[in-house]
Amino acid sequence: MIDFARNVRLWFEPHHISDEGTTPDYRFSLANERTFLAWLRTALALIGGGFAVDQFLPDLRWAWRVGLALALLAAGVLCSLRAVNHWVRCERAMRRGEDLPVSRFPALLSIAVAIVAVAMVVVVLAGWAG
């Protein structure tokens, strides 16, 4: 928990990362930043999908519409928070010469998106059948 709190502090004070270890090859830091930006694009897509479900499917039953929209919005929020936390953890590991951190988050996010996609397939098929 203490390490997580330190990481959160580094979200807002990234210049303190340079206090640890040695400066890695800048190509690795830039690759870490590109990965961070890819996670943010994913988060924005999930948030956009949540708003799209809510705004563009007014004929969908309220519970389905709100449930799917909230699932996508929550996944987007978690993805954006995970992006910055992973960026800090990777940057610190590279500076220390440690292995890069591993995470279950990509698998969990994939499962959540798959569940929402299956629910959307059910909604579409139910709409065609009705």
Dihedral of CA atoms 78, 80, 82, 83 in degrees, nearest 10, equals: 160
Residue 12 falls inside a structural domain:
no
pLDDT of residue 105 exceeding 80, the answer is yes
- Backbone angles phi and psi of 63, in degrees to 5: -65, -40
pLDDT of residue 2 exceeding 80, the answer is no
Give the model's pLDDT for residue 91.
94
Give the model's pLDDT for residue 67.
92
Residue 51 falls inside a structural domain:
yes
What range defines the domain where residue 78 resides?
Answer: 29-129
pLDDT of residue 129 exceeding 70, the answer is no
The domain tally of the chain equals 1
- Chain segment 21-71, per-residue pLDDT in tens: 899 999 999 999 999 999 999 999 999 999 999 998 888 888 889 999 999
